[in-house]
Amino acid sequence: MFDELNKYQTNGHFFFQKGDSLSIQSKDVPELPGVYYILRLARGRVDLVYIGKSGTVLQNGQFKSQLLKGRINNKQEGVKRQQYFEQKLEQENIDGLDIYWFVTYDRLHQDLPGFVEGLIIQRYFDLHGCLPPWNKEF
């Protein structure tokens, strides 16, 4: 979807549907710094609804503890992601979510997740003139 992400060899995706456990569906997501985006599958359409990052770097070059798996399973809008996704599935009549993740900082690449998130949000903004629906600000 975003050419900027093609270079990251450590990546993957998983589906989340009604009745799924987010922690089980995301079991293969590593605890490494990176970016992710969420596609909504609803009424025969696929739409990108969220772009996010994990891994805030500190001044000393170390990353805070919340990395990809932890961030995907944490909270959104003050609600646990499991509950947030369940609410969205119901409210928006969503068949499922397809969540793609990319490790941007490892032994092959040292791209800060915030930088990469900014690039792909900018690309989305250039195409649509707004942020993805579930991104409230950038």
pLDDT truncated to tens, each residue of the chain (138 aa)?
Answer: 899 999 999 999 999 999 999 999 999 999 999 999 999 999 999 999 999 999 899 999 999 878 999 999 999 999 999 999 999 999 999 999 999 999 999 999 999 999 999 999 999 999 999 999 999 999
Give the total number of structural domains in the chain: 1
Q: Which two tokens stand for residue 128?
A: 């649509």
Q: Considering the domain boundaries, does residue 110 fall inside one?
A: yes
Q: State the pLDDT at residue 93.
A: 96
Strand 11-16 with 96-103, pairing: antiparallel
Quote the CA–CA distance of 82 and 125 in Å, as a whole number: 27
Tell me if 69 is assigned to some domain: yes
Query: Tens of pLDDT along 19-57?
Result: 999 999 999 999 999 999 999 999 999 999 999 999 899
Asked, for residue 35, whether it belongs to a domain, the answer is: yes
pLDDT for the residue numbered 111: 97
Give pLDDT, residue 80. 96
Q: Is residue 95 part of a domain?
A: yes
Domain assignment of residue 135, yes or no? no
pLDDT of residue 46: 97
Residue 70's nearest CA partner among 84, 58, 53 is 53
Rounded distance, CA 11 to CA 34, Å? 9
pLDDT at 114: 96
Residue 134 lies in a domain: no
Report if residue 138 sits inside a domain: no
Exposed/middle/buried for 29, CB within 10 Å: 0-12, 13-18, 19+?
buried
* 37 occurs within a structural domain: yes
| pLDDT in the model for residue 1 | 84
The residue range of the domain holding 45 is: 9-128
